[in-house]
Structure 1
């Protein structure tokens, strides 16, 4: 009976796809299982990539980058438990109860697997301190890493090497998916938030691998995740708490899909190229085969992921860098500044610069995280932009509000970044003495072309640990363990060591 059911589902999918021009299963250059012919859909290539990538086959630089991304994500997760939106999610999650399968990072609290993954992923994204795949504005790590850690807790037999391999492959898949759709166009201009949108598919891939799903089960898991796919950009535009929860929703849906698939639930296997697949339904058929599958298994997108030095929207970092450079080089104080003008491309203008009055007067922390005037004010006033500038106390600071009121924003289409990702920015400072200072910044600190220094990275990790209330000795021990993650026999023990006493 089950065999007949599977045949019916497969036949129905083929009929729905149509046997006309450009059939969904004829994907050039992609071989299926030995003797099986062409793959039905490109999702099979990504599933095989995520199932079969082994730690020993990873290039050394990919291992290093992935290890760093895991530490970075854990660090930015720890201080977020009390943040607006996260606090309420934590309360609801605990009230709902269920089996204690996985740990809430930084605590001794255990929740059902998908519930813990949802909370941890939302925490990882909440403070806007998580890293960014700039070519597609994708925050992959805040989904793939919390999912991997939660599943490691659940199974209790995931080594550090296996964690690195699963995260490297899953993050690579997430970044490839996000870059492939609507190539050359900012996802926020199209209207999507790529993190929850592609994150749910990546979450299913990572969870499926670590749960030991078969190839067919893993394809089913991604198909089930696709049925839940969402992720519009309105929350980011409005600056609401919903922006913090998208990564969590993706983690929950992806993990649940993997659990269901392991029990035999069938999802579509035409996830990407079906007549109602992702690229047709969400991108009008516009996608890049090269971005999706080019160099699969030999080239990893994780190498292009940029850690954030400032806890706010990555699109604003270029302006922060420019302002900090001008202020420090010219020894300017807040009282010396008559006005600041930030020139941004359309996508960043929409997210960070308009409407100007709202951006000058953020009412919530999320609004401040998406405000170029607020970021500029912090950079000028304190010559730094850190977690303390995105807090209830900071929103009450009269000096920051006064400075933000002297910041202007202007759209400049010439600042669009040719290769995609956060655009360039030009900042113009006018002093009360009438001096005009100008700076163009193309690649923000943290970009592979403008990397953070070891000291800057160390400062970030300990800033997060301090904000979470973790004692420095515990933080230093944990940093040492994460830097030798390959030596961990069971990641569940490392999760337990993160509990803040």
Structure 2
């Protein structure tokens, strides 16, 4: 956009403030005039808004529909056992005492809260147990934001069908992944310093909510601009292993929903959201971004097909180490007392999150620290030949067998293990036994990766592990499971949400 055209848009905004006419409406009028005069769309956010608003269920490939239903199932079931977890329990108590309109359900309960408070809690629950799925090329956890906000917006809107929910989630998840891939292409976001989930999640949440609340294009751009004005998402919470890591998705979901509701009332934000002089890619990425990653094959290539569900409730970057360890102990029938030490070789980003400082990773003091510790995960895999929710609990942190075994782990950085297409890096394990043998294993693609998918039996195991942990009776869990697998037949998803109450 030229400086002259920018000045024209600014004048329209000023006119709106002076006359009381919604300025976003006048801005849209100005943009339409520029487009008719041959001017370019001022920012890529307009293209994304149109895509989000105009995609129909019938436009979705059958594979995308199937995968999206699986992501909705996966996200809902990992929410259910999280309500009592540390950080979430405190947020729940605060949310109940804060008061306000009873708009949306806390998932798994009959408690209703203001929609913003409910979605903040639900999205934080989805992320809390580190069991939520991952878009590996950019380490984006899209589902823990887009699905809770879609459920909350569906309750607000009323009468939202299963097909419409599937469509909103499919396009919203695609947008979240595209945004996270576009910034600083080829570099891990954690090396740059951002946690992509609470960062891009604000924008994706605003657009998912905007679609379900039936915003028009100008309102959708306004919502995205308001979301941009709120977003952050640095990686320090993951490095330090604190409760903030669990809450980031909740902040994004709540902020995005608020942005959509304000835009619906005529509030506007910046409309050069992505490519403006101080837009997202210039301000947060120093102008380094890929327009092809953002817009290439939009509407025909869906990033959601590349999302990996997690078989273990821990940082996705450590799953290759778990898989490799389980393979070694099973292949060689190794017992914990057989193991002298294990050397875990990881690339730089995984070392930062999962391997350093070694003393802290060998002796985690909190559940979040354990979820981000390769030594802890490998020790648990050796000790129990399985990894599940029970290994990331207050009781597990007191287990002397796991603590002693974790001290036999070593971590070493190896830059050759960086994954060339982005995402969680590879791992190389050296398992030294007390009889002098060394067993090695390199793992590139963890279980759940599209190149190494989970089986139906593994998915079912996870579903019922989570519902059992939440106290849901098996008969109810089986009914919910089937309803989500047949989500396109739901006439009003509010009924499904209510049926989740344990």
- Tell me the TM-score normalized by structure 2: 0.94
Change (3 A) 1:92 1:177: same
Query: What secondary structure does 2:137 align onto?
Result: helix
Q: CA deviation at 1:155?
A: 1.7
Q: Deviations over 1:168-227 (max 9, x none)?
A: 000000000000000000000010000000000000000000000011000000000000
Alignment correspondent of 2:121: 119
Q: Deviations over 1:345-392 (max 9, x none)?
A: 000000000000000000000000000000001100000010000000
State how 1:7-406 maps to structure 2 within 5 Å: 8=11, 10=13, 37-406=39-408
Q: CA deviation at 1:6?
A: 7.9
Whole-angstrom CA distance in 2 between matches of 1:142 and 1:360: 29
Query: What secondary structure does 1:493 align onto?
Result: helix
Query: What secondary structure does 1:439 align onto?
Result: strand
Whole-angstrom CA distance in 1 between matches of 2:10 and 2:53: 24
- Tell me the TM-score normalized by structure 1: 0.94
Change (3 A) 1:275 1:90: same
Whole-angstrom CA distance in 2 between matches of 1:6 and 1:276: 16
Whole-angstrom CA distance in 2 between matches of 1:347 and 1:203: 27
Alignment correspondent of 1:498: 500
Q: CA deviation at 1:153?
A: 1.4
Q: 1:429 aligns with which of 416, 431, 437?
A: 431
Q: CA deviation at 1:33?
A: 7.2
Whole-angstrom CA distance in 1 between matches of 2:375 and 2:270: 46
Whole-angstrom CA distance in 2 between matches of 1:377 and 1:49: 46
Whole-angstrom CA distance in 2 between matches of 1:6 and 1:421: 40
Whole-angstrom CA distance in 2 between matches of 1:232 and 1:221: 22
4+ aligned runs moved over 6 Å, structure 1: 32-36
State how 1:434-449 maps to structure 2 within 5 Å: 434-449=436-451
Query: What secondary structure does 1:458 align onto?
Result: helix
Alignment correspondent of 1:28: none
Query: What secondary structure does 1:440 align onto?
Result: strand
Alignment correspondent of 1:29: none
Change (3 A) 1:34 1:135: farther
Q: How many residues in Structure 1 have an aligned counterpart in Structure 2?
A: 479
Whole-angstrom CA distance in 2 between matches of 1:335 and 1:361: 19
Q: CA deviation at 1:8?
A: 3.1
> Tell me, which stretches of 5 or more residues in structure 2 are unaligned?
1-7, 16-33
Alignment correspondent of 1:18: none
Q: Deviations over 1:409-466 (max 9, x none)?
A: 0000000000000000001100011110000000000000000000000000110000
Q: Deviations over 1:223-268 (max 9, x none)?
A: 0000001000000000001100000000110000000000000111
Superposition CA RMSD, Å: 1.6
Q: CA deviation at 1:34?
A: 7.6
Whole-angstrom CA distance in 1 between matches of 2:38 and 2:149: 32
Query: What secondary structure does 1:195 align onto?
Result: helix
Change (3 A) 1:123 1:420: same
Whole-angstrom CA distance in 2 between matches of 1:471 and 1:115: 27
Whole-angstrom CA distance in 1 between matches of 2:38 and 2:113: 42
Q: 1:453 aligns with which of 452, 455, 460?
A: 455
Change (3 A) 1:33 1:75: farther
Whole-angstrom CA distance in 2 between matches of 1:34 and 1:480: 50
Whole-angstrom CA distance in 1 between matches of 2:174 and 2:360: 36
Q: CA deviation at 1:152?
A: 1.0
